[in-house]
Structure formats: structure tokens, C-alpha cells
Amino acid sequence: MEVQETIKEIKKQFRLFMNGVVSQSMREKGLDYKLNFGIEVPRIKEIASKFEKNHEVAQALWKENIRECKIMAGLLQPVDTFYPEIADIWVEDMRYPEVAELTVMNLFQHLPYASDKAFEWMAHEEEYFQMCGFLLMARMLMKGCELNERAENEFVDQAMAAIYDESGLVCKAASTALVKYAGQKRISARTLLQMAQYIDARERLELLALKEEIKLAAE
């Protein structure tokens, strides 16, 4: 099947399951796509399972300003043809947290260069690069990735600075990564308590919650 024919068939599947109520609700919350079918993520994954992974199809889907196409792109993109420079282009094109989170989960965490990108993006100046960097690090830590001392120090320094970022998206992603880091059994209680001590949670409920989670991990 040709690329455009595949895209047409995918959109046909989207139309079968479109949910106008959900779509309108998302639009009211600021998700201003050219088109949003309002389809639940599990259903999008179900539709994706009917198609083979294909680089050209995934790239074409990503270029569409359609919510479901963006999500589907991450599901259909083969890892071996997704080069680092393409990953940067995708992150630069991101506008909404949902797509960032799902793309990290469905594609980025499986890339052979995921660790390199995580550190590169965490240190980036742009919001969505930082967000993806910390989300990617969280995913790696969930899979049992162990950092050497230098990498560990770099991550903790970046994350401890990012939790005070004005961007709620970056703060949340960095907090998630720190919680996953704290959950690793090899991290000493003393280290975790020192981390918690340095978190200034005044007037920030989300930081207070983070502080308590890290303390809990130390017990």
C-alpha cells in the first residue's frame, strides 16, 4: 500500500471512532489542532496495531496538524530509521504535553541513543526539549537504567534546578524523574534525605509533595 493510501485508510479508521464531545472539550482546554477526532489513546493504539511500522508513513503522519496523527506517528515509526536529528525536529514541533508524553513512551524510550538525548534535552533552553528530556530519563530509570557517578550528579543537578522552573510542564517532568530516581533501591537513604532537605517547598504544594515522596523513599 502506498504512503498516501495508508494515510487515507488511517484517517478513515479515525472517522469511525471520532468523539465530538471529547474533541470539543479538548478544544475548550486549549488544544487547538487543525483537526481533533477526540479518540481515546487505547483506541488509537488498537488502530495502530492494524498497520505495519513504516518510516515514510510515520513521517507523513507527524507533519499533519491532527492530534491522532501525531500520536499514531510515534506508534508506527521504526526505531532503526529514526535518527537523532529527526528526534530533535519532532520535539521542536511539539505543542501539547499529551503528544510529548506519549511520544516519549511509545518511541523515544526505545531509541538506542535515548540516554544521550535525555541529557542533551534536559540541558536545553526550550520548554518541550527539557520536558521530553526529564520524561525520557524517568522512563529509563523505570526500566532499571543505572547512571554512573558523573551522569547521576549531572541529572540530579539539572532536575533540582528544573523543579523551580516557571514552566509547570518542566517542573512536573523533573519531579517525576526525581521520584523514579529516588525509587531505585541502590540510592542511599542519606542521599535521599539530603535531596529532600534542599527542596524549598514554600508556597509550592507540588514541591512539598515531591519532598515527602523522596523522604518516603528513604525509609
pLDDT in tens, 90-139: 999 999 999 999 999 999 999 999 999 999 999 999 999 999 999 999 99
Can you give the pLDDT at residue 206? 80
Q: Match 483506541 to its residue by C-alpha cell.
A: 43
How far, in Å, are 25, 26, 61, 136 from residue 55 at the CA level? Answer: 32, 29, 10, 22
Give φ, ψ of 35 to 5 degrees.
-150, 135
Contacts 24+ apart (CB under 8 A), 143-151: 143/109, 145/115, 146/184, 146/186, 151/119
Task: Measure the CA angle with vertex 125, ends 148 and 30; round to 5°.
Answer: 115
**Among 132-141, 187-196, 209-218, whose mean pLDDT is lowest?**
187-196
How far, in Å, are 22, 31, 108, 151 from residue 95 at the CA level? Answer: 19, 9, 17, 29
**Among 125-134, 166-175, 207-216, whose mean pLDDT is lowest?**
207-216
**Rounded Cα distance, 208 and 212, in Å:** 6
Where do the structural domains in the chain lie, given as residue ranges?
1-81, 112-219
**pTM across the whole model:** 0.90
